[in-house]
């Protein structure tokens, strides 16, 4: 065991690993952050152990002071598979963003894959398939695939994140417009040098790093989509990010930070203005309607103010969407088509909205 003193805080980090048997230069590092995932962690780890590769890999588990048996499970697997697993933890909880940062900093592979402690992989060839893609296409930094969606307390799995009937390259604009759920986290494989180049984005300014990883990873040559479900995303798990943002104050803070981050990202990629407009209108219109269904005026105001802040940059049809939201005419508007909006625009005065 070695301890790592973090310069920013007196909290001490520890790494449990065996340098005598673990690969010195793994091709793939698997990042697995976990917190209170006791019922699920073993399945996540087993999915990595099951990988059939002709190259060395390492699994780095970042355990964030769970209150259940998560750490015990992680350490037990490290003892059983010292040639594969490294476990990082600290004296106190550091939070999801910092936990992810310290695990990424420890990664040594040419590529980094992701599998959080409540998700799992279901294809033994997953890493081989994805490494082959990035090895053959040097201008692409990220590959991902479809997945299965599994709701807590439900044994059935549902196909999700299917973007094509075949493998294909997906351009940056579609990734930007797709929101954070466009690529399942457990499906991602990226070049480590790409990830390290924008490491500063993974701090407290951004609420969730997945979306920004997807955008930066697709910026150079797009993202290579594999039409093969090779992972499972658990929905409504107690320790998941979705559950942690259910409180209204946390959700409002998230939406404000997400908009701030989108604006920063748009500044860096100005040629994708239209794509950023689409994601902002789509995301915050959806938030507005969800807030209305929750009877949450505060969240409605936040979403609407963000949309109004963008009015001068929106297309005519996007402005109509925002205008209708302001007038609380949205029951049949979302989702909608350009043709429907043209008709609404034509008769907007007759509807009494002006």
Which residues on adjacent β-strands are paired with residue 191? 111
CA–CA separation, 113 vs 75, rounded Å? 21
Binned at pLDDT 50, 70 and 90, residue 351 comes out as very low
The DSSP code sequence of 145-187 is: E-EEEEETT---EEEE----SS-EEE-HHHHHHT-GGGS-GGG
pLDDT at residue 241, as a whole number: 46
Greater confidence, 1 or 296?
Answer: 296
pLDDT at residue 354, as a whole number: 43
Among the ranges given (187-196, 237-246, 275-284), the one the predictor scored with the smallest mean pLDDT: 237-246
Greater confidence, 242 or 291?
Answer: 291
Residue 138: both structure tokens together: 């040097």
Mean pLDDT for the stretch of residues 240-268: 79
267 class by beta-carbon count within 10 Å (0-12 exposed, 13-18 middle, 19+ buried): exposed
How many other C-beta atoms can be found within 10 angstroms of the C-beta atom of residue 118? 25
Greater confidence, 154 or 18?
Answer: 18
Residue 320: both structure tokens together: 């109509």
75 class by beta-carbon count within 10 Å (0-12 exposed, 13-18 middle, 19+ buried): middle
Most confident of 163-167, 299-303, 340-344: 163-167
Buried/exposed code over 340-353 (b: 16+ C-beta within 10 A; e: otherwise): ebeebeeebeeeee
Mean pLDDT for the stretch of residues 204-214: 74
Percent of the chain with pLDDT over 70: 83
Binned at pLDDT 50, 70 and 90, residue 239 comes out as low
- The DSSP bridge pattern shows strands 120-121 and 231-235 to be antiparallel
- Asked if 183 contacts 161 with a C-beta cutoff of 8 angstroms, the reply is yes
CA–CA separation, 328 vs 74, rounded Å? 50
CA–CA separation, 160 vs 202, rounded Å? 26
Decide if pLDDT at 349 tops 50: no
Mean pLDDT computed over every residue of the chain: 86
Greater confidence, 352 or 214?
Answer: 214
């Amino acid at each position: 065991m070695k301890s790592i003193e973090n310069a920013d805080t007196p909290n001490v980090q520890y790494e449990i690993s065996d340098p005598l048997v673990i690969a010195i230069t793994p091709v793939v590092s698997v990042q697995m952050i976990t917190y209170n995932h006791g019922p699920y962690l073993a399945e996540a780890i087993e999915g990595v152990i099951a990988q059939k590769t002709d190259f060395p890999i390492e699994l780095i588990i970042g355990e964030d002071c769970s209150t259940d048996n998560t750490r015990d499970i992680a350490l037990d697997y490290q003892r059983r598979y010292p040639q594969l697993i490294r476990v990082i933890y600290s004296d106190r909880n550091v939070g999801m963003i910092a936990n992810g940062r310290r695990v990424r900093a420890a990664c040594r592979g040419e590529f980094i894959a992701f599998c959080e402690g409540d998700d799992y992989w279901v294809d033994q060839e997953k890493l081989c398939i994805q490494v082959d893609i990035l090895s053959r296409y040097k201008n692409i930094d990220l590959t991902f695939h479809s997945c299965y969606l599994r709701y807590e307390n439900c044994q059935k799995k549902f196909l999700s994140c299917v973007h094509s009937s075949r493998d294909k390259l997906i351009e940056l604009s579609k990734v930007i417009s797709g929101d954070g759920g466009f690529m399942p986290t457990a499906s991602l494989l990226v070049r480590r040098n790409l990830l390290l180049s924008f490491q500063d984005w993974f701090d407290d300014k951004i609420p969730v790093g997945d979306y920004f990883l997807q955008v930066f990873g697709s910026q150079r040559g797009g993202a290579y989509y594999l039409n093969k479900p090779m992972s499972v995303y658990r929905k409504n798990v107690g320790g998941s990010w979705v559950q942690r943002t259910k409180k209204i104050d946390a959700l409002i803070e998230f939406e404000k930070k997400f908009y701030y981050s989108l604006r920063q990202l748009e500044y860096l990629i100005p040629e994708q203005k239209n794509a950023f407009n689409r994601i902002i209108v789509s995301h915050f219109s959806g938030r507005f309607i969800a807030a209305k269904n929750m009877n949450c005026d505060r969240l409605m105001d936040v979403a609407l103010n963000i949309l109004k802040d963008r009015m001068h940059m929106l297309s005519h049809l996007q402005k109509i969407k925002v205008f209708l939201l302001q007038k609380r005419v949205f029951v049949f508007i979302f989702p909608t088509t350009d043709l429907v909006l043209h008709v609404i625009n034509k008769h907007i005065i007759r509807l009494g909205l002006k």
